[in-house]
């Protein structure tokens, strides 16, 4: 285990097993449609690439990049850094995320796509922290309900680091308190 990690919360095996289940749900729901899958970069990169291998329906992938965190705190302001290329009018959109925390990022993106004319917008996230929600936002496909801790690994970063860990763990406080 990486030295900066306090505890592993979700092992690679647990993540894979849960993704198999979510994949089945998505395959049932989207069997006869062709959704636009939108990974919210950069955090959703690892989760999305693993989930895509479990999706057996026709789909198009078009990433979007937003940012709102400075260190371990939400700035409360969403910066749209790189937009999607597709026209979403009449499309079913699946937003892919590593984590829902305050809910601000996904609320902003869901509203943005609905305003642009998407037929539907669903949310698929590996983690959800319901206890830290600041705005009303519900995920449609959720891997795990997580505690109020700063988590890293499997796409989740602190200061750009730890995204490549194959598991999700709690970052030691001394790493970001120093």
Ligand X SMILES: O=P(O)(O)OC[C@H]1O[C@H](OP(=O)(O)OP(=O)(O)O)[C@H](O)[C@@H]1O
Ligand Y SMILES: Nc1nc2[nH]cnc2c(=O)[nH]1
Which residues make up the interface to ligand Y (CB under 6 A)?
69, 99, 101, 150-152, 156-158
Ramachandran bin of 134, using left for φ above 0, alpha for ψ from -120 to 50, beta for the remaining angles: alpha
158 interacts with, out of ligand X, ligand Y, none, CB within 5 to 8 A per kind:
ligand Y
103 interacts with, out of ligand X, ligand Y, none, CB within 5 to 8 A per kind:
ligand X
Least separation in angstroms between CB 25 and ligand Y: 24
Q: Whole-angstrom Cα distance, residue 55 to residue 175?
A: 37
150 interacts with, out of ligand Y, ligand X, none, CB within 5 to 8 A per kind:
ligand Y
Least separation in angstroms between CB 69 and ligand Y: 5
Q: Which residue is nearest to ligand X (CB)?
A: 43
The neighbouring-strand residues paired with 37 are 61, 94
Contact 155, 170 (CB under 8 A): no
Contacts to ligand X by CB under 6 A: 40, 42-43, 67-69, 74, 97-105, 157
Q: Would you please indicate which residues are annotated as catalytic (active-site) residues? A: 101
42 interacts with, out of ligand Y, ligand X, none, CB within 5 to 8 A per kind:
ligand X
Q: Is the peptide bond before 39 cis (omega within 30 degrees of 0)?
A: no
Q: Whole-angstrom Cα distance, residue 160 to residue 128?
A: 21
42 or 92: CB nearest ligand X: 42
Least separation in angstroms between CB 78 and ligand X: 7
Least separation in angstroms between CB 5 and ligand Y: 12
């Amino acid at each position: 285990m990486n030295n900066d990690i306090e505890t592993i919360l979700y092992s690679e095996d647990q993540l894979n097993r849960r993704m198999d289940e979510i994949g089945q749900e998505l395959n049932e729901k989207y069997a006869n449609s062709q959704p636009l899958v939108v990974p919210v970069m950069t955090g959703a990169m690892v989760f999305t690439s693993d989930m895509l291998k479990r999706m057996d329906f026709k789909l198009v992938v078009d990433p979007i990049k937003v940012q709102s965190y400075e260190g371990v705190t939400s700035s409360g302001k969403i910066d749209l850094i790189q937009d999607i290329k597709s026209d979403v009018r009449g499309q079913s959109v699946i937003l892919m995320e590593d984590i829902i925390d305050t809910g601000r990022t996904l609320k902003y993106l869901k509203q943005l796509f609905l305003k642009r004319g998407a037929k539907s917008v669903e949310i698929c996230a590996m983690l959800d922290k319901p206890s830290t929600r600041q705005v009303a936002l519900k995920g449609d496909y959720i891997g795990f309900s997580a505690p109020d801790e700063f988590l890293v690994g499997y796409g989740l970063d602190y200061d750009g680091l730890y995204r490549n860990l194959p598991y999700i763990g709690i970052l030691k406080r001394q790493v970001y308190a120093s």
